[in-house]
């Protein structure tokens, strides 16, 4: 049976132990990485560590990971931009029961969860000028 504690993000004792072990392992791995990157090869060979990769990879792997993450972010942004429906699409049809998002006069408050007009989102994201923003969402008569 499902209970609230099974799906809770609060740190249960098991999760706390796993998190602490993961923290210690990541710190130890980073320390060993820095040790391998900065200690001269002669010292490592004197200790019998001859199977380690070259120092070139100490910079190449993090830089490749950085470039790959930037390319992934650009790819996901482009994919989301391509898969968004146009303003005049049938997918943007709304009805009289949709509750529009309104701005409250309270500063610093969190807005209530409501439907956001696609035209408003387009204006915010793509900086459409006021002249071009006369596109209204399609409405369907619910009667």
**List of residues 6+ apart from 60 with CB closer than 8 A:** none
Question: How far apart are the C-alpha atoms of 20 and 11, rounded to whole Å?
Answer: 11
Residue 101 in this model has a pLDDT that exceeds 90: no
User: Any idea where the domains of the chain sit in the sequence?
Assistant: 10-83, 85-102+111-143
Identify the residue whose tokens are 């490592």. Answer: 44
Q: What's the pLDDT tens digit per position in 24-81?
A: 999 999 999 999 999 999 999 999 988 889 999 999 999 999 999 999 999 999 998 8
What pTM was estimated for this model as a whole?
Answer: 0.54
Question: How far apart are the C-alpha atoms of 107 and 103, rounded to whole Å?
Answer: 10
What's residue 143's pLDDT?
47
């Amino acid at each position: 049976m499902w209970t609230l504690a099974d799906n809770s993000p609060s740190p249960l004792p098991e999760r706390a132990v796993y998190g602490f072990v993961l923290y210690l392992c990541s710190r130890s791995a980073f320390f060993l990485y820095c040790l391998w990157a900065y200690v001269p090869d002669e010292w490592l060979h004197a200790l019998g560590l001859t199977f380690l990769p070259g120092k070139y990879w100490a910079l190449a792997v993090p830089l490749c990971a950085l470039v790959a993450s930037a390319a992934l972010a650009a790819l996901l942004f482009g994919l989301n931009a391509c898969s968004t429906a146009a303003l005049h699409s049938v997918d943007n049809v709304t009805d009289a029961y949709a509750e529009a998002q309104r701005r409250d006069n309270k500063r610093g408050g969190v807005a209530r969860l409501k439907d956001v007009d696609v035209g408003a989102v387009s204006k915010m994201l793509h900086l459409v000028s006021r002249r071009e923003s006369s596109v209204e969402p399609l409405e369907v008569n619910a009667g």
